[in-house]
Amino acid sequence: MTLRGILGVAVVGAGRMGADHVRRLDRATSGARVAAVADVDRERAERAADGVEDCAVHSEPLAVFDDPAVGAVLVASPGPAHEEVLTAALERGLPVLCEKPLTPDPESALRVVRAEAALGRRLVQVGFMRRYDAGFRKLKSLVDSGVQGRPLMLHFRHRNVSSPPGFTGPMTIRDSAVHEFDTVRWLLGQEITAVTVVRPAASSGAPEGLGDPQLLLLETSRGAVADVELFLNCGFGYQVACEVVSERGTARTGDETGPVVEGPGARCREIPPDYLVRFADAYDLQVQRWVDAARRGTVEGPDCWDGYAAAAVCEAGVRARETGARVAVETEAPPDLYR
């Protein structure tokens, strides 16, 4: 293993998530520093870079590739802007951590996959941070160990306090449920083959027309079934929980938050307010592991193909949501690089 000095990272996109990554790389990551921040809103980039030593600021994302201090790129700009940055990084052979989605649709995702496959080496990691959450990692170990036999069913809960302004039906699939799609694929090591979306009566607490909550059914290539409660306006907290039901036992994660507090008539545990709190450690670990791998010249996390496969399931999910029917997932065969 060779670590090649401190990794200079360019953060592209300085919104909430990008700014959080700047802070993380600057304060909580070993072996890396923020070499540049780019955002089409230059002021936003400057705010995010404020206080970071030796950090360039750009209003043009591609400008980061001309900076010799930049050895890797973290992409946190909106999805439609990803393909251009990813393509540029692949051309220059720079490692990338790309916030999900890889790109907004399977077609563009497939172009990125093919470009990387043509290059013949993996450079791109997709930001499915749940794979770095301690609880999910323990579920994964347990499933992989086989001690409970084959996994047969997965039960997911995915609840947010409220959906962001302007959130649409398709976004409930592409921006929220996409995490469960990746989690199913990763936990089971199986592809998702079909999606059905069941729509209960909408909550009066959800925006008119959003049709929140939803119940998703996912079928996999070796016959497991996952159900996903997706409730984006539950009002009371952020919850991500998963139960794996195997042939001889079950395991679940998602309820382990903090001290027990006893007060008037009740014994309570806090529910975190949002994903930045719930998955703070997972984000830290994801970035640290990505930096560690990049300094060794490798990529080890979820890859381009995972990004493409998730996009393909999203496409089926969006149609399933609109039609009420079971929709089969269609994907290309994976290039050799990802087998």
Contacts (CB under 8 A) with its own copies, residues 268-287: 268-271, 273, 281
Which lies closer to its own copies via its Cβ, residue 118 or residue 198? 198
For its own copies, the binding residue among 16, 50, 60, 257 (CB under 8 A) is: 257
Q: Could you tell me how many residues of this chain bind its own copies (CB under 8 A)?
A: 77
Contact 77, 43 (CB under 8 A): no
In whole angstroms, the minimum distance from the beta carbon of 93 to its own copies comes to: 23
Which lies closer to its own copies via its Cβ, residue 10 or residue 304? 10
Q: In a 3-state reduction of DSSP, which class is residue 147?
A: coil
DSSP-derived secondary structure for 156-209: EEEE-S-PPTT--HHHIIIIIIHHHHHHHHHHHT--EEEEEEE-PPPPTTSPTT
User: With CB under 8 A as the contact rule, which of the stretches 76-84, 92-100, 133-141, 297-305 interacts with its own copies?
Assistant: 133-141
Which lies closer to its own copies via its Cβ, residue 31 or residue 335? 31
Angle between helices 178-188 and 304-323 in degrees, nearest 10: 120
What is the spatial distance between Cα 306 and Cα 286, in angstroms, rounded to a whole number? 16
Residue 74 vs residues 77, 179, 300, 327, 332: alpha-carbon distances, Å: 9, 19, 15, 34, 27
101 prior amide bond cis, ω within 30 = yes
In whole angstroms, the minimum distance from the beta carbon of 22 to its own copies comes to: 12
In whole angstroms, the minimum distance from the beta carbon of 276 to its own copies comes to: 15
Q: In a 3-state reduction of DSSP, which class is residue 96?
A: strand
User: With CB under 8 A as the contact rule, which of the stretches 58-66, 177-185, 221-229, 315-323 interacts with its own copies?
Assistant: 221-229
For its own copies, the binding residue among 266, 333, 336, 339 (CB under 8 A) is: 266
Closest of 126, 234, 223 to residue 184, by C-alpha: 223
What is the spatial distance between Cα 51 and Cα 68, in angstroms, rounded to a whole number? 21
Which lies closer to its own copies via its Cβ, residue 76 or residue 139? 139
x-marked contacts with its own copies along 14-43 as a string, rule CB under 8 A: -----------xxxxxxxx-----------
For its own copies, the binding residue among 148, 191, 319, 335 (CB under 8 A) is: 148
User: 223: which residues sit within 8 A by CB, 6+ positions away?
Assistant: 152
Which lies closer to its own copies via its Cβ, residue 75 or residue 244? 244
Cα-Cα end-to-end distance for the chain = 24
Residue 151 vs residues 128, 178, 184: alpha-carbon distances, Å: 21, 21, 11
**Does 240 interact with its own copies (rule: CB under 8 A)?**
no
**Does 149 interact with its own copies (rule: CB under 8 A)?**
yes
Number of C-beta neighbours around residue 191 at 10 A: 17
**Does 217 interact with its own copies (rule: CB under 8 A)?**
yes
**Does 260 interact with its own copies (rule: CB under 8 A)?**
yes
**Does 315 interact with its own copies (rule: CB under 8 A)?**
no
Which lies closer to its own copies via its Cβ, residue 93 or residue 264? 264
Which lies closer to its own copies via its Cβ, residue 1 or residue 333? 1
Contact 247, 224 (CB under 8 A): no
In whole angstroms, the minimum distance from the beta carbon of 153 to its own copies comes to: 6
x-marked contacts with its own copies along 166-205 as a string, rule CB under 8 A: --------------------------------xxxx-xxx
